[in-house]
Structure 1
Amino acid sequence: MPQIIGDAVVDELLPPAAAVAAVGTAFDLLAAGTAHDTPRTRHTAGGVTLNVMSAVAPTLDALVVKSYPVVHAGTFRASVITILVHGHRTGELRALVQGDLLGKRRTAAASAVATRAMARPGSSTVCLFGTGFQAPAQVVALAEVLPELDTVLVVGRSTDRAEATAQALRTALPRLRVEAGTSPERAVPRADVVVTATGASEPLFDGALLRPGTHVNAVGSNDARRRELDATVFRRAAHVAVDSVEVARTECGDLLANGLDPAAATPFADVHAGRVAGRTHADDITVYESHGLALQDLVCAVRVLDAAQAHPSTDVRGANE
């Protein structure tokens, strides 16, 4: 009988550290060539856009189909996200997993995995652009891989929302000093790691503000017409990695809208496998373009299902309940 797993169970069984480990496993599978990821497709009709993506991982006996509609104009935020998990050997439907919190955690985990491989050791200050659904989770995940992290600078268009995000981070990570503001000119030059997790369609800051050695995680641009980073960032960057070149060819606005060829970027799986160095010099500026892979969702969902099986007391429902 298929299980139905909601956000509450995901919250219990996929804490940020587990999500980081799961996303690392997803990149291991890609590097080894033992899993396949199919990029997102978008189907629009009647003002509604249906997004669908899928992945197959035979070694985990799993395949997933992830789908979500976007029904409101002026937003890229899904109304609800569902992940169907099938057994690879039998095709049997194992579970329907709510993908909202899982997607938030795996997206943040991808930034953390990339930061671990590409940022300078000892990085202590993060500049976070964004005050929405995804933004705070980015910092929570980075805290798992940056042992010397002590300062977070939250930048938002609204002072009130920036402060609200900063307060949420102070509550979640009380050991950190968290500042809020609206000035990229003040925040970016102080950062070791910059995270852009917004719905912006135009660059958030002047790339000349980045100090040597900064690592950038670009999370929000998954449409060829939208960019969070300007061309200056890429002119200065010594290394640009993408979670998938195939995906980047269709939806990496940071590269496409700046007239750059995604094929010139490094697949991050090669960095994670050690085939390509994340950075070669302390002063290198590095960039990771994150668009989200169904394979990341697959590994995270399988981890949740395995954990639920190992803990029978977890509140997981059957499909007919």
Structure 2
Amino acid sequence: MPRIIDDAVVGRVLPPAAAVAAVETAFDLLAAGAAQDRPRERSSAGGVTLNVMSAIAPTLDAVAVKSYPVVRSGTNRASVITILVYGHRTGELRALLQGDLLGRSRTAAASAVATRAMARPDSSTVCVFGTGFQAPAQVTALAEVLPKLDTVLVVGRTAERAEATARALRDAHPRLRVESGTSPERAVPQADVVVTATGASEPLFDGALLRPGTHVNAVGSNAAGRRELDATVFRRAAHVVVDSVEVARTECGDLLANGLDPAEATAFASVQAGRVPGRTHPDDITVYESHGLALQDLVCAVRVIDAAAAADLGTTVHPESWAPLPTDVRGANE
């Protein structure tokens, strides 16, 4: 029977390691041609933008539709995110999930999966730009895949916000040394991995600051006119990878606003499948552009649904309350 699952349940049953494994599965399915992912579509009217994306994974018996409205000016943050999951074989509704925490977790997990494939294995210092909802999750996910991680440098627009984020990370990861500040010039040259998880519309740092061998996870730019990275980053990069070339063509501002063709980037599924190396030399600068795929949401959601059912978490809806109308009552355009 259908199950309603909120963020509290998602937080209990989708730890970072499970989210990383789910995102790996999503890319495996894409590489094998065993799933379909439909990029985000945006519809706007009266100052409200509705975002809708979907995916189909027959081997997981799942079809998912993710949707969220943005109703506030000056932000791309959703009011509420919902994910509907249907059975592929029957078309019946399996669950309705609140998608805020799930989306945060799968976005961070995608950076972790890319980092494991593209960063130097001995990477020990992460610089993260951002002090909002996503930034701390990025560090938590990276801790899953960087065994030598010992230092995190938080860069924010204000010292107060950067320190607040750093304090939360120290509490969550007491073994890490976490510093905060507002200076890219100080933080970026120290980093083995740089994460940009902001709402910025202009580059956050001069690409010349990157030292050889750095890996960059660009998370925040998902509109054609917004960029977190400058053209220098891409001139220096030996390998630029996107989660989806199709998605990047419409919303990878880091590439589009810098006059670059997303079609020339590598789809990460090819890296995940081993067809293309993540890096070929320790001194390579590598870039992963993350925009989020509905298929990642789908695989994470299936894991959550199964775990919630096993632990009897969430709220179930009795089948009789979802009974379909008789055939002779249904409209032709339903």
Give your verdict on TM over 0.5: yes
Q: Deviations over 1:62-121 (max 9, x none)?
A: 000000000000000001000000000111001000000000000000000000000001
Gaps of 5+ in 1: none
* Deviation at residue 319 of structure 1 after TM alignment: 3.5
What TM-score, normalized to structure 2? 0.95
The SS at the match of 1:143 is: helix
Quote the residue 1:9 is aligned against: 9
In structure 2, what is the Cα distance between the partners aligned to 1:57 and 1:102? 18
Quote the residue 1:79 is aligned against: 79
| Aligned pairs for 1:187-206 within 5 A | 187-206=187-206
Quote the residue 1:134 is aligned against: 134
Amino acid at match of 1:34: A
In structure 2, what is the Cα distance between the partners aligned to 1:77 and 1:261? 27
Amino acid at match of 2:28: D
Aligned length: 319
| Aligned pairs for 1:12-31 within 5 A | 12-31=12-31
The percent of aligned pairs where both chains have the same amino acid is 83
* Deviation at residue 306 of structure 1 after TM alignment: 1.1
Quote the residue 1:147 is aligned against: 147
Residue 251 (1) aligns with residue 251 (2) = yes
Amino acid at match of 1:318: T
Q: Deviations over 1:127-175 (max 9, x none)?
A: 0000001010000000000000000000000110000000010011110
| Aligned pairs for 1:138-287 within 5 A | 138-287=138-287
Residue 69 (1) aligns with residue 95 (2) = no
The SS at the match of 1:74 is: coil
Structure 2 residue aligned with 1:319, among 317, 321, 334?
Answer: 317
Quote the residue 1:88 is aligned against: 88
In structure 1, what is the Cα distance between the partners aligned to 2:159 and 2:23? 33
Q: Where in structure 1 do 4 or more consecutive aligned residues deviate above 4 Å?
A: none
The SS at the match of 2:12 is: helix
* Deviation at residue 37 of structure 1 after TM alignment: 0.2
In structure 2, what is the Cα distance between the partners aligned to 1:319 and 1:196? 40
Amino acid at match of 2:85: V
Quote the residue 1:100 is aligned against: 100
The SS at the match of 2:145 is: coil
Quick check: which has more Rg, 1 or 2?
2
Q: Deviations over 1:23-79 (max 9, x none)?
A: 000000000000000000000000000000000000000000000000000000001
Quote the residue 1:117 is aligned against: 117
Amino acid at match of 1:215: H
Q: Deviations over 1:198-252 (max 9, x none)?
A: 0000000000000000000000000000000000000000000000000000000
* Deviation at residue 253 of structure 1 after TM alignment: 0.1
